[in-house]
Amino acid sequence: MIDYIRKFKDRKKSVHESIINRMLIASLTTSVMATFIFVIIVTLYSNYNVEIKNHLNHFMEMNTNMLPVVALIFTVSVLGSASVATIYFAIPLSNRVKKILQRIEESHELLSRGKLGTRLESTGFQDVDRVCSEFNIMAERTEKQVESLQRLINENKILILETEREASLTERKKIARDLHDAVSQQLFAISISLKAINNLVEANPNKAKKILEKVEEMAQTAQKELRALILQLRPIKLKGIPIHEALVILLKEISKDNESIYFSWEIKGIQNVFVGVEDCLYRIAQEVFSNIIRHAEARNIYIKFYSSDKVLYFFVEDDGIGFDIANSKKSSYGLSNMKERVEEIGGRIDFISVVGKGTRVEIRVPLYHAE
Ligand SMILES: Nc1ncnc2c1ncn2[C@@H]1O[C@H](COP(=O)(O)OP(=O)(O)OP(=O)(O)O)[C@@H](O)[C@H]1O
Ligand SMILES: [Mg+2]
């Protein structure tokens, strides 16, 4: 029994239940107190009033057995009427409180589901109204924040689109320039040389042969430039493929197209590299390989890709003609673009080149693994 009472006491009750319980306890206590006070008053009064005392004595002598019954009827009737009154007032009140709580809960749910226009009306209770007005202030603030966030996202989107358009315009200009410098000029020189050969074939066959050799050289250069350009234009095919696998695929394709160069690599798998970092490394690889094809005249390329102590290492080495870094072409974008890209992802890039010996590109990027 005690256990049952303890459990009942400890159980979390709804406001509705608590109000009814407490009011019933209050009415029970009031009834008992009223009965007690009534008995004391009657006892004290009968001690002073002889007539009442006699009546009482007479009544008690006549109905000795009836007294407990009368007391019981009195208590029960007081208790009953108090309980009825309690229930009459308490139930509607607790129902009202229940409805208010339900409305607050529903509004909260609506707000969290994105109906940001949800507001609570006045309830008629001063303290509950304070909670409602706090809720309304919070809802209004959230609505304003979401609105400004959306505006920001929208502005951001427009900016991204503009930047993309700008970038693609720059890219197109660069392709046009490369096609003009590398391919169109070579083809023009080839056609002029061919015309000269035509005139010289009979008059000076030796000179014609020399020019023919030059034509062959020019055609090879144009072909080389075109290959490098195609390599740079190759779209990023990283979707879902980790960078180390994408690099191997790229290298296999380039080595197939450039048989005069011997490619060797040591590429270790690195998992969960951030997509942004992978994208950046792939583009850098395209530029480094394209530079080697275009400028290096290399016979061997060696690539190393691995990670150690949360640093990603990507080294590319060629045994080509090398170049003077301090005096490298100022009008070009390749080297500076690579530097910018690596710095964007918190890494560093070093170009080590010795004229006549070759070039080594060293990239180091700190790794924060994506989950
Ligand atoms: N591996 C390399 N071997 C020899 N020379 C190189 C190598 N990489 C770059 N260079 C030299 O550095 C110069 C600058 O390279 P960069 O990539 O910035 O320009 P680019 O390739 O000429 O033009 P683009 O802007 O189209 O990349 C090249 O013109 C070339 O002379
Ligand atoms: Mg380049």
User: Looking at this protein, which amino acid is placed at residue 128?
Assistant: V
What is the atom index within ligand 1 of the atom nearest the CA of 178?
26
Q: What is the DSSP letter of 295?
A: I
Cα Rg of the chain (Å, integer)? 47
CA distances from 75 to 41, 83, 96 (A): 15, 12, 31
Domain that holds residue 258: 236-371
Q: Does any domain span residue 258?
A: yes
Residue 168 CA to ligand 1 centre (angstroms): 21
Q: Map residue 368 onto helix, strand or coil.
A: coil
Q: Look up residue 74 and give its two tokens.
A: 């009195």
Q: Are 273 and 367 in contact (CB under 8 A)?
A: yes
What is the atom index within ligand 1 of the atom nearest the CA of 298?
3
- Give the distance, in angstroms, between the CA of residue 27 and the centroid of all CA atoms in the same chain: 57
Residue 363 has what pLDDT?
96
178 lines ligand 1 (CB under 6 A): yes
- Nearest protein CA to atom 22 of ligand 1, as residue: 332
Residue 11 has what pLDDT?
66
- 261 and 365 inside one domain: yes
Q: Does any domain span residue 152?
A: yes
Residue 34 has what pLDDT?
76
Choosing from 297, 323, 362 the residue with most ligand 1 atoms within 8 A of its CB, the one to mutate for a pocket test is 323
Of the residues 115, 136, 170, the one at which a domain ends: 115
- 155 and 268 inside one domain: no
What is the atom index within ligand 1 of the atom nearest the CA of 331?
25
Residue 317 has what pLDDT?
98
Residue 291 CA to ligand 2 centre (angstroms): 5
Q: Does any domain span residue 156?
A: yes
Q: Does any domain span residue 338?
A: yes
Tens digits of pLDDT across the chain (371 residues): 666 666 666 666 676 677 777 777 777 787 777 777 877 777 777 777 777 777 777 776 766 666 667 777 777 787 777 778 777 777 888 888 888 889 999 998 888 888 888 899 988 888 888 989 999 999 999 888 888 888 888 888 889 888 888 888 887 887 788 788 778 888 888 988 898 888 888 888 888 899 899 899 889 888 888 888 887 777 666 777 899 999 999 999 899 888 889 999 999 999 888 888 898 899 899 999 999 998 999 999 999 999 998 899 999 999 999 999 988 877 778 899 899 889 988 999 999 999 999 999 999 998 876 55
Q: Does any domain span residue 73?
A: yes
Of the residues 212, 233, 254, the one at which a domain ends: 233
Of the residues 233, 263, 282, the one at which a domain ends: 233
Residue 339 CA to ligand 2 centre (angstroms): 12
- 243 and 366 inside one domain: yes
Tally of structural domains, the chain:
3
- 357 and 244 inside one domain: yes
- Nearest protein CA to atom 8 of ligand 1, as residue: 291
What is the atom index within ligand 1 of the atom nearest the CA of 335?
18
- 327 and 311 inside one domain: yes
